[in-house]
Chain A
Amino acid sequence: MRDHPDSAVLLSSARRTLLEQVLPALEAEAQSGALMVARALSVVIARIETDRRALLAAERGVENEELTALAELLGESAAAAREAHGGASAAVAHLSRRLAAEIRSGAFDPPGARHDLLQRFVFEVTRAKLAESNPKVLQQIETWRKEDE
């Protein structure tokens, strides 16, 4: 077991120091570099949190959410896919490829439950990625989407 602080806390602290102490002392051109570093750190912090939640879920025996959704879309069993591909991430990669091919071939074109399920899936997966990489823009787009509902 590692000693404190854990990775996310350590990085958050590094990011705060960068923004509060280092950035103001930098010249204009170097500031944009420092802001990019801060941005990269915040994404890594968010990813550590996501990975930690996934790990906890896996420890409790909860199936990977993305894998479950993909398997449902493709009419397969998540557990069987995990078994066949030697782990959840390999299974997600494999099923994503199949899903992409089916979307391209028009298999999800007809309006109906399957089409709607796909829409929910791609929105969900994309929102989850954006929640890590740019939560501010995620909120912007979500607000805009709801505006005319």
Chain B
Amino acid sequence: MALASDEVREPLERFVAGALGVPSCELTKVARLAGGTVQDNWILEARMPDQSRHRVVLRTGRVVGVKDSLPAEQEYAVLRAAANAGVCVPRPVAVCSDPAVIGRPFFLMDFVEGESRPWKLQRMPAVMAAGDEILDWVGVQLGRLQAIVPDRQALPFLRPAPRDAAREAIAEMRAYLDRHDHAHPAIECALRWLERHAPPPGPIVLCHGDFRIGNVIIDHCRPVALLDWELARWGDPHEDLAWACMRFFRFSRPDLEGGGLGARSALLRGWRATTGRAVDPWLMRYWDVFSNTRWAVVSLQQVARHVVGGEDSLELALVGLGTAEMELEALALIERACAGMPGGR
């Protein structure tokens, strides 16, 4: 999409001006931000009538969407709900459903300065020294998010809340595998284990859906905002906690279970302080296996976008190569859980 083209510039400038509450503005910078296999993010710098500058991020779905990812208008509603619940997010600015403006629905949020790429953060000694504090903060944010529970008014466009988050997700993953072109015995083993050990249905809360350090903006060692809400859904409170701790997201520090930045216990501490709930170690282990299994299945879906969806992206193709990593991790976690060993370092 050519956001910087002349046909788009004028209607976009009008929209941004309206959203920022000024009669007009001039877009002095329109540039694509790196990252995101699902969404497109653009930074817009607007020169206001008083010559001040305001930076916003324009977020829109890619042409080929991912199953279960929310369209821009819905993601915007989730972002607002999270902000209202006290979760630190980039300030939602405005949403545009009119395709006449840029050709697709999009929304605007304030630009937040900082770094979110874990492999970059891991090279910053000051960030690593503050790792546990950052994780504590992240746990607090998650606790606040989980105060949002299903009711008739809350986010009505989300798929209905599951009654039994684990079992329903297992059934969905199996249904996907049945449509896949070849069998995956390792994933089947993990799913069978998850089915046989599924905990009784617990409370259902709003889940971020891709809760990990890579979606936290950190500015000068201080976490400032949680990003990327397009995969939000109703689910089990442990889902996001376990997702953030997956080996896959620890990058060069696999020993640091808290997203490669610090201790998992720091994340749980912040979460506990906000929710008043303690984490049952067995449940944590269960959802660790669950997360890796789910990510293995999602990686198959991602690579299917590349293979049959016609989306020629090397990034997507490489995600598919990760399937074996999550499979082996899930098998190893099951092995450990079965042996009754302590759950990792």
A residues bordering B, Cβ < 8 Å?
29, 32-33, 36-37, 39-40, 43, 93, 96-97, 99-100, 103-104, 106, 108-109, 118-119, 121-123, 125-127, 129-130, 133-134, 137-138, 140-141, 144-145, 148
Contact = CB atoms under 8 A, between A and B. Distances in A.
A43 B186 contact: no
Q: Which has the most chain B C-beta neighbours within 10 Å: A37, A123, A127?
A: A123
B188 interface: yes
B251 to A, nearest CB: 11
Nearest to A36: B314
29 contacts: A32-B34, A39-B318, A40-B314, A93-B182, A93-B183, A96-B183, A96-B184, A97-B182, A99-B188, A100-B177, A100-B184, A103-B185, A104-B192, A106-B192, A118-B185, A119-B189, A119-B331, A122-B185, A122-B331, A125-B186, A126-B328, A129-B323, A134-B324, A141-B247, A141-B325, A141-B329, A141-B332, A144-B254, A148-B342
A36 B318 contact: yes
Given A119-B335, A126-B328, 9 more contacts: A39-B318, A96-B183, A97-B182, A100-B185, A122-B189, A133-B325, A141-B325, A145-B332, A145-B335
Interface in B284-343: 314-315, 317-318, 321-325, 327-329, 331-332, 335-336, 341-342
B174 interface: yes
A97 B322 CA distance: 21
Contacts of B174: 104
Contacts of B263: none
Q: Interface residues of B toward A: which range?
A: 20 to 34
Nearest to A118: B189
Contacts, number: 96
The dominant DSSP class at the A interface is helix
Contacts of B322: 133-134
Nearest to A70: B185
B107 to A, nearest CB: 24
Contacts of A148: 336, 341-342
Contacts of A145: 332, 335-336
B44 interface: no
B191 interface: yes
A93 B182 CA distance: 7
Contacts of A108: 189, 192
Contact of A96 (B182, B192, B335): B182
B67 interface: no
Given A40-B317, A43-B321, A97-B183, A141 B328 contact: yes
B188 A100 contact: yes
B314 A134 contact: no
A126 B183 contact: no
A100 B183 contact: yes
Interface in B152-194: 174, 177, 182-186, 188-189, 191-192
A119 to B, nearest CB: 8
B123 interface: no
Interface in B191-243: 191-192, 196
Contact of B318 (A40, A97, A140): A40
A15 to B, nearest CB: 14
A125 B192 contact: no
Contacts of B247: 137, 140-141
